[in-house]
Amino acid sequence: MNRVGLLGYPVAHSLSPAMHRAAFAAAGLDWRYQALEIRPGELEAAIDRLRAPDWRGANVTIPHKQAVLPLLDELSPSAAEVAAVNTVVKRGQQLVGHNTDAAGFLLDLQRQRALPHASPSPQGPSAAMVLGAGGAARAVAFGLAQVGWSLRLIARSQLHAAALGEAVQRRHPIEVELLPWDRASFESACDRCDLIVNATPIGMSPDGRSSPWPAGLPFPPGAFVYDLVYVPSETRLVRQARRAGLEAAAGGGMLLEQGAIAFELWSELRAPRAQMHAALEAALEVSHA
Ligand code: NAP
């Protein structure tokens, strides 16, 4: 039997096993998807085990997305650019690292808004506000930079934000503004802002009553609000934005798209998105219960 693993710590609450098992079943593949709790000191051995003949690859999640880079034989252009791997694919004896988060985010953004908001406004200078400077913010920032957005990074750690900004600008000729995490930054970043992306865990269950958006601050008119958090499936930030008349989405669609791309890399088959989506919805319902 072919096997695919999820390497992370912790992994018990991950929705990926449900989504990928549904995908394998729908595609008629007798494959097994296994969530494996791998602590930081165990990663090298876990990657080595993927070299056994029955393994097709793995997903890699917190805290290993960057630590895994030197353990692989090759990186795809996406993984090399973002400098993080969330999917490992075995090609012959070679383990190849990919990053499907950036493409998954962009694909879902396009799906949510049709094309205009997957790229900057044609009317002139506009920017995306990205909240956070961790792993997910990295994928989002590179994804947006690839399609020409300028970025306003609002983050607690200015060190992380500066490192991310520099890495993006080494590859893409876009403007990047770094702002500290305070109300004045949010206020100034609202000027000509078409897109707001929350890439922090604020608002994630069980902290569903929190929002990264400063209390009482009006949203920039017409902006699209994208919250990477997907549990709960409608976050407080998404509700606030919709109440203010804006279009908004939580991160379930990105989770689906990054998983669908990973499935296609492992199997070289078209991903059964409808079944993967249904499995995610069912798993989300269980995680709410
Ligand atoms: P991470 O690497 O730990 O980064 C988290 C970022 O959020 C860091 O910049 C952190 O700042 C910041 N942050 C955390 N709490 C904060 C607070 N109270 N105020 C201000 N900033 C705060 O985590 P990640 O992998 O980027 O994940 C972030 C979120 O995205 C999670 O909720 C995750 O589930 C979600 N996500 C969703 C998808 C999807 O497919 N939808 C994919 C990936 C991730 P410091 O550095 O100062 O701590």
Q: What is the pLDDT of residue 118?
A: 56
Q: Identify the active-site residue in 64, 65, 138, 277.
A: 65
Ligand 1 closest atom vs CA 181: 20
Model confidence pLDDT, tens digit, residues 24-43: 999 999 999 999 999 999 99
Q: What is the mean pLDDT of residues 250-277?
A: 98
Residue 200 Cβ < 6 Å to ligand 1? yes
For this structure, is 65 an active site residue? yes
Strand partners, 179: 154
In tens, the pLDDT along 109-141 reads 999 874 455 566 655 557 999 999 999 999 999
Rounded to the nearest whole angstrom, what is the distance from the C-alpha of residue 270 to the centroid of ligand 1?
30
**Per-residue pLDDT tens for 167-183?**
999 999 999 999 999 99
Which tokens hold the place of 279?
């499995």
Dump pLDDT digits (tens) for 96-109: 999 999 999 999 99
Per residue in 221-251, pLDDT tens? 999 999 999 999 999 999 999 999 999 999 9
Q: Hunting for tokens 């109300």 — which residue is that?
A: 183
Angstrom CA distances, 125 to 27, 107, 178, 208, stand at: 44, 23, 17, 34
Residue 5 pLDDT grade (very low, low, confident, very high; cuts 50, 70, 90):
very high
Query: Do 197 and 130 contact (CB within 8 A), yes or no?
Result: yes
Q: For residue 29, how far is its CA from the centre of ligand 1 (angstroms)?
A: 34
Tell me, using a 6 A CB cutoff, whether residue 106 lines ligand 1.
no
Instruction: Check residue 115 and give its pLDDT.
Output: 43
Q: Whose CA is nearest to atom 40 of ligand 1?
A: 255
Length of the chain measured in residues = 289
What pLDDT shows up at residue 121? 61
Least confident of 1-5, 118-122, 190-194, 223-227: 118-122
| Closest-lying ligand 1 atom to the alpha carbon of residue 204 | 32
Neighbours of 276 (CB within 10 A): 23
Cα 94 to averaged position of ligand 1 atoms, centre (Å): 31
181 lines ligand 1 (CB under 6 A): yes
User: 55: CA distance to ligand 1 center in Å?
Assistant: 30
Q: Which segments of 54-211 are extended strands (E)? A: 55-60, 74-75, 87-91, 94-98, 127-131, 150-155, 176-180, 193-198
Say what the pLDDT of residue 125 is. Answer: 54
Atom of ligand 1 nearest to the CA of 133: 9
- pLDDT tens sequence across 34-80: 999 999 999 999 999 999 999 999 999 999 999 999 999 999 999 99
Q: Is the pTM of this model over 0.85?
A: yes
Mean pLDDT of the chain: 94
Side chain identity, residue 93: Q
Give nearest CA residue, ligand 1 atom 17.
Answer: 202
Q: Whose CA is nearest to atom 14 of ligand 1?
A: 200
